[in-house]
Amino acid sequence: MNHLSVEVAMCYGVKLSRINALLSESFVHPSHRLEHLWYPAREHVPHIINTATMKNNHSTIIQRTCPVPLRKYPRVVLGHGSGGLMTHELIKNLFLPAFSSESAQLTDAAVVPMPFDSDKQLVVTTDSFVVHPLVFPGGDIGSLAVYGSVNDLAMMGAIPLYLTVGFILEEGLPMDTLTSIVQSMASAAKKAGVAIITGDTKVVEKNHGDGMYINTSAIGVIHSQNYPHPRLIQPGDAILVNGTLGDHGMAIMSVRENLRFETKLKSDSASLHLIVSKLLTACPDVHALRDLTRGGLAAGLNELAQTAHVGMIIDEEKVPIRSQVKNSCEIMGFDPIYIANEGKFVAILPKSQAQNAIKFLRNDSLGEKASIIGEVTADHPGIVIGKTQIGSKRVIDMPPGELLPRIC
């Protein structure tokens, strides 16, 4: 691993020391090392900081975080699809000004009035899936497309009803592969309780589509005027997750790079709407929900903190991570809280309801490892702080570029 790679790894908050990072190189094939960066190199700064003396000096905290990548690009780069800082800048500086609308909402899905029924609200979302490989441990692009769209609706407290699907197929794709993925998609839709009601198919020339891309749109309904939204987050709220983090991203990486571990990594891809619906029934005052896909926990918490104009503090020792995921992240030089998930969400709710929520979640197979990981604070609004295992504190930034491209 070269000097630049170690600098970038440290800037991302990787928990390896320089010596351990160098030693880990011997366990990784040269093609797997962090020498091929998906974003420009940045100046190195220490990622462990002490915020004890910075409580009322927010600019100091920001200055000590990693510099962001170059903002002006003549062409699109992979980082623009990372779900992190570059994606947010693209949305803010290009898409929002072009598509300005009073109904535009920067949430997992848009909530719009239900025509002729003031007691209900429609929830609409759209998503595209470019995961590579098409089939991976724990799922495939078909089931992932269904669950990903359904989960976006669930994060707004909606009951999913309908899906549309668009296939972009590459010439030469084996028909057996297409058949298997379509059947998987149908099975996932049945399991999630949604109907695929319309769709479209396009075929592109060989070597122009990488097998298959899928686009979905989903429609659901909220039977109430009240639903989880970042604007409801309050200082003192508890932050909890429903299970272990990093499973999906590292499962994709292990297959893509042909990495072999003692324990096989498996994606957590799953439909979350049933467990979320039960959670909202048991704890009706849940203030906000966010599924932890691209950018992982780090991106999810930063989005919520910035939208709600609050600070957040998490205890990294309480963040549930499987040992095999943690070990593989250390070998690859990644921080698990930045790795994508497809069956995990963060919930923010009054501290008085947190223990009841945990007890409820742990009775569900999708919440067996649920944990309270932190709290919301009025200090350092828009900034997420992590308490490390050695007692220090660090700023957990919005991921600036692409760590693992095409994981969903």
Number of neighbouring beta carbons within 10 Å of residue 235 = 14
Q: How far apart are CA 331 and CA 323, in angstroms?
A: 12
Place of tokens 């592109």: 204
- Two tokens at 153? 């609706």
Domains, the chain, in order of start with CATH, read 45-104+228-408 (3.90.650.10), 106-222 (3.30.1330.10)
Average pLDDT (168-193) is: 97
Q: How far apart are CA 83 and CA 60, in angstroms?
A: 26
Place of tokens 């009073």: 102
Share of the chain above pLDDT 70, in %: 81
The answer to which of 98-112, 256-270, 295-309 has the lowest mean pLDDT is: 98-112
Positive or negative: CA dihedral 117, 118, 120, 123: positive
pLDDT value at residue 404:
77
Select the more confidently predicted residue: 250 or 30.
250
Average pLDDT (34-39) is: 40
Select the more confidently predicted residue: 59 or 346.
346
Q: How far apart are CA 303 and CA 119, in angstroms?
A: 29
- Collapsing DSSP to helix, strand or coil, 372 comes out as strand
Select the more confidently predicted residue: 249 or 5.
249
Average pLDDT (375-401) is: 93
pLDDT value at residue 332:
85
Average pLDDT (55-68) is: 43
Q: Which residues of 287-319 are buried (b: 16+ CB within 10 A; e: fewer)?
A: bbbbbbbbbbbbbbbbbbbbbbebbbbbbbeeb
**Phi and psi dihedrals of 87, rounded to 5?**
-65, -45
- Reported as a pLDDT band with limits 50, 70 and 90, residue 343 is very high
- Reported as a pLDDT band with limits 50, 70 and 90, residue 258 is confident
User: Do 310 and 380 touch, CB atoms closer than 8 A?
Assistant: no
- Collapsing DSSP to helix, strand or coil, 194 comes out as coil
Mean pLDDT of the chain: 83
- Collapsing DSSP to helix, strand or coil, 154 comes out as helix
The predicted-structure confidence for 223-250, as pLDDT tens digits, reads as follows: 877 899 999 999 999 999 999 999 999 9
Where does 309-371 have alpha helices with state H?
A: 323-332, 351-361
Number of neighbouring beta carbons within 10 Å of residue 390 = 8
Average pLDDT (117-123) is: 87
pLDDT value at residue 206:
95
User: Do 149 and 218 touch, CB atoms closer than 8 A?
Assistant: yes
Residue 221: Cβ-neighbour burial (10 angstroms; 0-12, 13-18, 19+): middle
- Reported as a pLDDT band with limits 50, 70 and 90, residue 46 is very low
Average pLDDT (363-383) is: 97
Q: Say yes or no to pLDDT of 287 above 60.
A: yes
DSSP character string of 153-221: HHTTTPEEEEEEEEEEEETT--HHHHHHHHHHHHHHHHHHT-EEEEEEEEEE-TTSSSSEEEEEEEEEE
- Two tokens at 67? 């510099």
pLDDT value at residue 333:
87
The predicted-structure confidence for 70-93, as pLDDT tens digits, reads as follows: 467 788 888 888 787 888 888 888
Whole-prediction pTM: 0.81
Rounded to a whole number of angstroms, the distance between the first and last alpha carbons of the chain is 28
* Residue 360 DSSP label: H
pLDDT value at residue 233:
97
User: Do 204 and 246 touch, CB atoms closer than 8 A?
Assistant: no
User: Do 233 and 348 touch, CB atoms closer than 8 A?
Assistant: yes
pLDDT value at residue 219:
97
Place of tokens 């549930």: 320
- Two tokens at 405? 């491209």
Q: Say yes or no to pLDDT of 41 above 70.
A: no
The answer to which of 116-130, 159-173, 196-210, 354-368 has the lowest mean pLDDT is: 116-130
Number of neighbouring beta carbons within 10 Å of residue 24 = 17
pLDDT value at residue 403:
74
DSSP character string of 204-220: E-TTSSSSEEEEEEEEE
Place of tokens 């991570």: 321
Select the more confidently predicted residue: 230 or 64.
230
- Reported as a pLDDT band with limits 50, 70 and 90, residue 104 is low
pLDDT value at residue 21:
37
pLDDT value at residue 238:
98
- Reported as a pLDDT band with limits 50, 70 and 90, residue 102 is low
Q: What angle do CA 295, 330, 238 make, to 5 degrees?
A: 45
Q: Say yes or no to pLDDT of 370 above 80.
A: yes
- Reported as a pLDDT band with limits 50, 70 and 90, residue 49 is very low
Question: Is-cis flag, bond preceding 133, omega within 30?
Answer: yes
Q: Say yes or no to pLDDT of 346 above 80.
A: yes
Average pLDDT (158-167) is: 97
